[in-house]
Structure 1
Amino acid sequence: MHETGYAKINLALHVRRRREDGYHELETLFAFVDAGDKLTARVAERNALTVVGEFAPQLADPFGNIVAQALAKLPRSQGLGLTLEKNLPVAAGLGGGSADAGAVFRIFEALHGLPDDWRGRAAKLGADVPACVESKMCLGNGTGTELSSVVNDLEDTPVLLVNPRVPLATGPVFAGWDGQDRGPLPNGPALRIAAEGRNDLEAPAIGLVPEIATVLEALEGTGPTLARMSGSGATCFALYSDPEARREAAARLAADHPDWWQMSGKLRP
């Protein structure tokens, strides 16, 4: 079986408050790109995981990988042998690990069906994992695990992902948030929420990795309909009116910044 760990982006991410449990109260618009990591699965005597691809060296401990943890959350009588082609950068604001765990859940669903409590099992792996299991545009509240539907008027929108190849851990970015509540997500369909929303983690992320500001400036210079940082960074995204505009932008950035990572795709339903 083959599955894709679809890259997750936050079209908007509003941080409302710090909670007493140490987490943050969030409001976010999750979207997913039709590209990402690739997983291949086969029935095996016992669970096994092989990691290949450009960013495989950044996953030094495959047994501590969230993919292996996802397998452990879904007990069954037979094992699964998984090969993970790691195409998404690690610690990049794309939910790469969560996306991979989501793909494992979908593989399990196709083979055995998911247990009724799958959302709780997924949430124990990470706040983004429940959204990544379905990999459909949705709203996230609480820590990001409380999901609701949204009118998706951005389906098939061309998108370009760019990362300066600087890993950025989530914890320090949240710790750098200034604690100011700048208000809730706008109401309406996805386009309005994205256009009128913001990412409250951009400022603290740029404070830690100034290259993010350079990436955003470069993306803005390509004439997108929207450019913003995703999640806690350091990956940024740009939405375009048509595929040709995205192709031109990708070519321009590749020429001007050959050291940056990039990936092109479209927004999923």
Structure 2
Amino acid sequence: MRETAYAKINLALHVRRRREDGYHEIETLFAFVNKGDTLRADSSRYDRVRVSGEFAGALTDPIDNIVMRALTVLPRFEGMEISLEKNLPVAAGLGGGSADAAAVFRMIELAHGLPDDWQARAAKLGADVPACVASRMCLGHGTGTELASVENDLQGTPVILVNPRVPLATGPVFAGWDGQDRGPLPEGPASKIAAEGRNDLEASAIDLCPAIADVLEVLGGTDAFVSRMSGSGATCFALFRSREAQSAAADFLARTRPDWWCLSGELRA
């Protein structure tokens, strides 16, 4: 079996409050790009994870990673050997690890089905994992695990992802949030939420990783109709109204910032 672990982006991310349990109450618009990591599963006597790809070196322990943990939380009748091609940067605001775990859920669903409580099992692995299992645009509330549908009028929209190749841990970014509730997500279709929304973690992330401001400035100078940081950073995205505009921006980035990681794709359903 083969699965793509689709890159997750937050078209908007509003932080509403700090919770007593240490987590944050958020409202977000999840979207997924049609590219990401690649996973292949083969039958095996024992569970095993093998990692390759550009960012394989960032996963230092093939035993204690989220893919292996995903294998352990679901009932199966046989072992699985997962070959993970790590194409997405790690600690980048793209839900890469969560997307990898979600791809394991989809493969196990095909082979054995999922238990009725799969969403709770997925949420224990990470707040983004439940949304990543379907990898379809949706709204997230609570810690991001309470999902709701949204009118997706952005399917097929050309997108570029840009990361300055600086890893950024989620915890310190949330810890640096200023605590100010700036209001809920806008109501309406995805295009309205993306255009009028914001990412309340940008200021904190830029304090920790000033290169994010450079990325946002460059993307703001392209023909994108929305550009913003995704999740807790450091990856930023730009949405375009045409493939020609996307291609022109990708060419400009390749010429002027060859040190940055860039990925062109389109938004999924």
Residue 252 of structure 2 corresponds to residue 252 of structure 1: yes
Aligned 1:28-107 pairs, distance under 5 A: 28-107=28-107
Partners in 2 of 1:205 and 1:64 — Cα distance?
27
Letter in 1 for 2:34: D
Deviation for aligned residue 1:206 = 0.4
Per the alignment, residue 146 of structure 2 pairs with 146
Q: Deviations over 1:38-75 (max 9, x none)?
A: 00111111111100000000000011110000000112
Instruction: Show structure 1 runs of 4+ deviating over 6 A.
Output: none
What SS does the corresponding residue of 2:75 show, helix, strand or coil? coil
Deviation for aligned residue 1:11 = 0.2
Per the alignment, residue 173 of structure 1 pairs with 173
Which ranges in structure 1 are unaligned for 5 or more consecutive residues? Answer: none
Letter in 1 for 2:76: R
Q: Deviations over 1:136-157 (max 9, x none)?
A: 0000000000000000000000
Letter in 2 for 1:18: R
**Identity of matched residues, %:** 71
Residue 268 of structure 2 corresponds to residue 268 of structure 1: yes
Per the alignment, residue 134 of structure 2 pairs with 134
Q: TM-score normalized by structure 1?
A: 0.99
Partners in 1 of 2:219 and 2:254 — Cα distance?
12
Letter in 2 for 1:217: E
Per the alignment, residue 19 of structure 1 pairs with 19
Partners in 2 of 1:109 and 1:118 — Cα distance?
10
Partners in 2 of 1:200 and 1:96 — Cα distance?
21
Q: Deviations over 1:126-181 (max 9, x none)?
A: 00000000100000000000000000000000000000000000000001000000
Q: How many residues align structurally?
A: 269
Aligned 1:225-240 pairs, distance under 5 A: 225-240=225-240
Per the alignment, residue 161 of structure 2 pairs with 161
What SS does the corresponding residue of 2:103 show, helix, strand or coil? helix
Q: TM-score normalized by structure 2?
A: 0.99
Letter in 1 for 2:67: V
Deviation for aligned residue 1:115 = 0.7
What SS does the corresponding residue of 1:93 show, helix, strand or coil? coil
Aligned 1:115-126 pairs, distance under 5 A: 115-126=115-126
Partners in 1 of 2:159 and 2:64 — Cα distance?
31
Letter in 1 for 2:195: A
Which ranges in structure 2 are unaligned for 5 or more consecutive residues? Answer: none
Partners in 2 of 1:76 and 1:103 — Cα distance?
15
What SS does the corresponding residue of 1:192 show, helix, strand or coil? helix
Q: Deviations over 1:109-131 (max 9, x none)?
A: 11111111000000000000000
Partners in 2 of 1:134 and 1:2 — Cα distance?
15
Q: Deviations over 1:12-61 (max 9, x none)?
A: 00000000000000000000000000001111111111000000000000
What SS does the corresponding residue of 2:89 show, helix, strand or coil? coil
What SS does the corresponding residue of 1:127 show, helix, strand or coil? coil
Query: Aligned-residue CA RMSD in angstroms?
Result: 0.5
